[in-house]
Structure 1
Amino acid sequence: MNWATAIVLIVLIAAVSGALGRRKRSQQEIERRAEEHPSEREKELENEVTELRERIQVLERIATDENSSEAVEARRIAAEIDKLKETDRQA
């Protein structure tokens, strides 16, 4: 390899690394701006997630509601046990 080829390679490497560096910096800038200013679609998705979380809370409340058949049955059994305890104390 002669000196002219070495110089061309050095210049080529410097140019490529400079281009890659600029590309990386511009990509970081695009990502930073996207985080600062979410798109309309991202806002819609965030609203939808919020609404879905609220729905889940309602469904959880319904599932664990005190008026469910299981809760009614548990209260009935507890009342029956209390009644039996009172009967045993009186006897």
Structure 2
Amino acid sequence: MSSEVMGTALMIGGIVAVFAILASAYKRRLAFKERKLELDAGLGTEAANRRDADLAARHGLLEQRLRVLERIITEAGDSRDVALQIEALRAEPKPTPILESAR
């Protein structure tokens, strides 16, 4: 009977030891992930600020172009003059797409 109790105690002790080892490894893994997220968050802020600045610049350019178009349409003039002014706008350099500037 005592050998059965001893075997059971040894088995329970082994299970507890394996569980302790796995818990320690999991704790280290969580600490690593947390540190990685902290570093990524720091880098993400810089990239977000750069993207926001790009968006603000693009917004200003688009607003300026819209004002020019509004002025062209609201001014009195013949349709040929309006067409020439619109063609002149098409010749201006276009802003780069947002997705390409973020890369």
User: Normalising to structure 2: TM-score of the pair?
Assistant: 0.43
Relative contact order: is structure 1 or structure 2 higher (C-alpha 8 Å, sep ≥ 6)?
2
Larger Rg: 1
